[in-house]
A = this chain, B = another copy of it.
Amino acid sequence: MSTHRKIRMGMIGGGLSSFIGIVHRIAAYIGEEYTLVGGAFDTDYDKALEFAKKLELDPNRTYPNIDTFIEKELELPAEERIEAVVVVTPNFLHYPMAKQLIEAGFNVICEKPVTNTAAEAVELEELVAKHKVVFALTHTYTGYPMVRQMKAMIAEGAIGEIQKVDAQYYQGWINPVIHDKEKRASVWRLDPAKAGQSCCMGDIGVHAFNMVEYTTGLKTAKVLSDLNTLYEDNPLDIDGTAMLRFDNGVRGLVRASQIATAEENNLRIAVYGTKGSLKWEQENPNYLYHLQEGEPMHVLKPGHEYNSEFAAISTKMAPGHPEGIFDSMANIYLGTAKAIRGEEYIDGAFPTIRDGVRGMKFIEAVLASTADGNTWTEIDD
């Protein structure tokens, strides 16, 4: 490992006023596999420089915009050039910036949502393949060790054939603003120009959907949804249910809401199989519940030898010292680092553009289903 070097990381967005930037930086720091060397942190260049100074970054690699970023970095010799670029801009910019970066040959670590439309996601998928770059989509929850344990157990057949899946993501944050006409008109997440086609399904329903396909390996063939905007003048869904039919005929359910008053990030998934079941909840992420007919319920926790290799490499501490959401994100960064270095990694070590394509297609399908009067709507590959 003597030639092992940290991956040179850049960042688009994520400056002083960003909430999400620090989340990504911490995730990168935790594994000690990345070093932040530059970026286009802010549309206000002075603020970008101030941010760079605070983090003691080289001001010469603090760029005023993504174009300059790409131009200047490409002028550097490969062994100095930024290798991975984190995209943490406002949502509607994910697609154009990711596209530019991929086309310039950079590996990309992109915040969710990956694009504004499914078509754009498909386009990115083709570009990723064409330019042979690594593309990681930070569906954070897939980094939790017990989610990975769930995926590994299902793959190994621990619960037999899957016969029912139920996933939920309930929040209540919009309740205080949704009932007042003025207030709801000023929420960016309810503005299609900024938030895209969907609020609830686009922001959180897609997480529940991703958990379903991520942990089970099943592919959703069609959906029937009932989305709710609550008020006629509100253009975007803030609550909804989607019935799923997987391509093997098994039924699933994605339930999401932002009017589940005072819920925080109540994401949970239950997968029921012929031999047993697995249940997990995001707010208590270090517990995985394994139910089996006629057996005491088993409660699995990270750090134990009974866990799969995938869970094991996603855990830093011994059992009983809880890790959290930053550690989950860090696991995604670790997986991405392996891919960037061309090392072997376990399938699912980081969500890819494939997850992005599936998610966008899901969003568009549930929107179409409701628009069509709650009818079954297919999701192609």
Contacts and interface: CB of A to CB of B under 8 A. Distances in A.
Contacts of A188: none
A46 to B, nearest CB: 11
Given A261-B276, A276-B262, A292-B262, A26 B30 contact: yes
Interface stretch (A81-89, A209-217, A293-301): A293-301
Interface in A284-334: 284-286, 290-301, 303-306, 316-327
A326 B50 CA distance: 28
A130 interface: no
Contacts of A5: 56
Given A53-B2, A326-B327, A272 B264 contact: no
A301 B264 contact: yes
A65 interface: no
A351 to B, nearest CB: 17
Contacts of A296: 290, 298-301, 304, 306
Contact of A243 (B159, B172, B241, B305): B241
A175 to B, nearest CB: 6
B319 A325 contact: no
Interface stretch (A97-105, A109-117, A249-257): A249-257
B243 A226 contact: yes
Contact of A25 (B32, B257, B264, B293): B32
Nearest to A159: B261
A19 B323 CA distance: 15
B298 A304 contact: no
A317 B23 CA distance: 9
16 contacts: A1-B54, A26-B30, A164-B259, A172-B291, A226-B243, A228-B251, A260-B270, A263-B291, A264-B318, A265-B321, A284-B322, A294-B304, A297-B298, A316-B326, A322-B322, A326-B326
B320 A322 contact: no
